[in-house]
Amino acid sequence: QVQLGESGGGLVQPGGSLSLSCVAYGTFFSLDTMGWYRQGPGKQRELVAIETSGGHRNYSESVKDRFTISRDNAKNTVYLQMNSLQVEDTSVYYCNAKYLHVIPEVGNLEAWGQGTLVAVAS
């Protein structure tokens, strides 16, 4: 089916920037939605940003003025450019994809990446 490979996490100072990448591997009929979620210490997993294959984007209110999501549909890749990072952004960031199975009659499925840590600290 689909597996997701994430990269780009690391340690950055407050006010700095990082860029995350996620590539979808495997078989599918269509890759409908790709995006990012995060889970910080003692918190529930939350939406960061998602983008449909048609280019529609949704952002969390806490990041919409600082983060930018983008997709390269030909490469089955989604990116997250993070600017003006704050300590509160420290989280494990998870890539997510919703896709239609290579046999469409099977239906819609969902895949998650293993997570990449973004640590914002002085």
Instruction: Inform me whether the pLDDT recorded for 41 exceeds 90.
Output: no
Mean of the per-residue pLDDT values of the chain = 97
What are the tokens at 90? 């420290």
The band of 14, judged by pLDDT with boundaries at 50, 70 and 90, is very high
Reply yes or no on whether the pLDDT at 91 is more than 90: yes
pLDDT higher than 90, residue 11: yes
Determine the pLDDT at residue 106. 96
Is residue 121 over pLDDT 90?
A: yes
Query: What is the distance between the alpha carbons of residues 30 and 97, in angstroms, rounded to a whole number?
Result: 11
Strands (E), 27-103: 30-39, 46-52, 57-59, 67-72, 77-82, 91-100
